[in-house]
Structure 1
Amino acid sequence: MTKQYAGPLSGPGAPPGHRHARSPAKRRSAYPYALYLPAAVVYVVIFLVPTVMAFYFALTRWTLFDSTFVGLDNFRDFLAEQNLRIGFQNTIFYAVATSGLKVVLGLLLGVLLTSRLRLRGFLRSVVFFPVLVSTVAVGITFSALLRPDTGLVNKVLALVGVDGPDWIGDANTALLSVALVDVWKGVGLATVIYIAGILSIPQDYYQAVAVDGGTAWHRFRHVTLPLSWPATYSVIILSFIGGLRSFDLIWTMTRGGPGFTSDTIASIIYKQYQAGFFGLSTAGNVLLFIIVTAIVVPLNHFLGKRQVAA
């Protein structure tokens, strides 16, 4: 029997062929981590550095050329803003309404556009098209369509004997009108996510339901709905974050009006910028960042646990 060598694989006592066996492996192990470097640099420059600077400038009264440290005064003044309570309520309502409608409509459209429709490809393009349009252009267009006297929406309603309201000029309908326009613009992205989720479901499940004599409702209830949960999870998180941070569509259509009835936290922050209170508005941005984080992180944890369970 040949005696096997049991000595060290590296060092002076190692066989010649094994002395440097680990060195190439160590060099190779650093290779995949080097691929992270460009993304890490972009992340630090684009996100971390501005975030740290925002936290600092929120503690100052600053202009383009000067800053004075004032501590927590900006946060106290922003929290004392008389319209902040209305803005917070509107922000939560807007986020819940838009994300909920995008989930429901996105799922229904996703089911429809994965069925055997003759014009399926064309309809997918039509549904996704509003996502590609500028938000400002959408806001300006719908502001014209929703005018009480000359708007196309009220003219169509008048043909069936309905007297349409002043959609964006009435305090009772302004925020809801903007939310519905937001859903119209964003539901295409939710639909695409659902289409991808539904197409990834193995056909074996649908065949099993068919063998058991199940109907289309049974296929949807017991296969599509539960197995498309990862898509639902993504749509909820993305839509809710977008709703909490929404500004451009609201500002384009209502500017927070009439009065302050459709103000959100983001529009209140922008009004402080317009008034020249840069430190105050920066503090508002920091508070909005904290609010979004405080809401989304637990929501993400809850939905993530349910996703694992599903």
Structure 2
Amino acid sequence: MSSATPNLPAVTPTEQHARKRRLGANYPSWFFAPTIALYVVFFALPTFSSFYFSLTRWTLFDATFIGFGNYVQFFKNPQLYTSFINTLIYAVLTSGAKVILGFLIALLLTSPVVGRGYLRAVVFFPVLLSTIGVGILFKSLLDPFQGMVNAVLGVFGLPQPGWFTDPSLALYSIAGVDIWKGVGIATLIFMAGIVAIPSEYFEAARIDGATPGQLLRSITIPLARNATVTVIILSLIGGLRSFDIIWATTGGGPGFTSDVLASVIYKQYQAGFYGLSTAGNVVLFLVVTAIMVPLSYVLNRNQVEQ
């Protein structure tokens, strides 16, 4: 007994291709929709709201529009110039050290060194720690009178500086703590970049008699450029916006010698000047944008040209 098979219209290859293209065109839109929604809710809306509230004198229950009054008052802050210079010094110092140290440590940890897995874990471990916890820890270790570091220096008859209490040392001491905590991320990025370089390049260069220095200069550094650009951008943004580790160690002191833009803004918020602190956040956002957008463009343009 035979069953009748319905005559279905044949699907041509052109129609199959068109269906695949429609499916492919719809899939990315749905895939990115949750990310776009999160971006709008947690970044775009707060950012534009900040621009508006920076033009008001506001509390939790009321907001009065005052125009650019908050900005005028913010730029009259006597600590603004010092905090801006400190921000630039801190950002350049920490990002530069992370790039150099991260690259050197990555070279070591991608070579056949004994205990490589253990050393990788040790280098990355500080990244997992709370920044506030790290600040409190080093504030205790570097205490000028009861800290362990100065106690050890005293045993050997070495000077015992006031790491966080000496105005000439405070900012650099905080930068050292920041470098210790953040160099693990830079090392991880550099390791990924170095490991991704095809081993055939090194083998061919060794056959041609290249020295280790020539391998580093002609292969490793140029081909790890993607990782270098990433570390520079991420560490410099972090340095320009740094606040928590500074507040946990010195609170911007002694005096105002280790104040950065973020700590000045927070002090205004503490004093109840919410509109003024919001204006400061907008200024900080514009400063970071004005520095990072041209820098990112130059680094990525040079990267493409190479």
Partner of 2:218 in structure 1? 222
TM-superposed deviation, 1:204: 1.6
Residue 118 in structure 1 maps to residue 111 in structure 2: no
Partner of 2:90 in structure 1? 94
Residues 212-251 of structure 1: matches in 2 within 5 Å? 212-251=208-247
TM-superposed deviation, 1:17: 6.1
Higher mean alpha-carbon deviation, 265-274 vs 300-309, is at 300-309
CA distance in 2, matches of 1:208, 1:157: 50
Runs of 4+ in 1 over 3 A off after TM superposition: 15-18, 20-27
Partner of 1:70 in structure 2? 66
Residue 254 in structure 1 maps to residue 250 in structure 2: yes
1:237 aligned partner, one-letter code? I
Residue 107 in structure 1 maps to residue 103 in structure 2: yes
1:165 aligned partner, one-letter code? P
Q: Deviations over 1:36-62 (max 9, x none)?
A: 111110000010010011000000000
Correspondence for 1:263 among 240, 259, 262: 259
TM-superposed deviation, 1:248: 0.1
1:271 aligned partner, one-letter code? K
Residues 1-310 of structure 1: matches in 2 within 5 Å? 21=15, 24=19, 27-28=22-23, 29-310=25-306
TM-score, structure 1 as length reference: 0.92
SS at match of 1:68: strand
SS at match of 1:61: strand
CA distance in 1, matches of 2:293, 2:222: 23
CA distance in 1, matches of 2:277, 2:75: 11
Q: Deviations over 1:201-241 (max 9, x none)?
A: 11122112211222222221221111111111000000000
TM-score, structure 2 as length reference: 0.93
1:189 aligned partner, one-letter code? I
Q: Deviations over 1:11-36 (max 9, x none)?
A: xxxx9967x94874574222221111
TM-superposed deviation, 1:74: 0.4
CA distance in 2, matches of 1:162, 1:263: 29
SS at match of 2:161: coil
CA distance in 1, matches of 2:27, 2:126: 42
TM-superposed deviation, 1:155: 1.8
CA distance in 2, matches of 1:215, 1:112: 17
Higher mean alpha-carbon deviation, 159-168 vs 95-104, is at 159-168
1:147 aligned partner, one-letter code? D
CA distance in 1, matches of 2:214, 2:99: 20
Higher mean alpha-carbon deviation, 210-219 vs 108-117, is at 210-219
CA distance in 2, matches of 1:157, 1:225: 38
CA distance in 2, matches of 1:253, 1:219: 42
Distance 1:17 1:199, change over 3 A: closer
> May I ask how many residue pairs the two structures share in their alignment?
295
CA distance in 2, matches of 1:16, 1:100: 65
Partner of 1:3 in structure 2? none
1:93 aligned partner, one-letter code? I
Q: Deviations over 1:44-88 (max 9, x none)?
A: 001001001100000000000000000000011101100000000
TM-superposed deviation, 1:256: 0.4
Percent identical pairs in the alignment equals 54
RMSD: 1.6
CA distance in 1, matches of 2:70, 2:187: 41
Partner of 2:6 in structure 1? none
Distance 1:16 1:110, change over 3 A: closer
Task: Point out where structure 1 has 5 or more consecutive residues left out of the alignment.
Answer: 1-14
SS at match of 2:64: strand
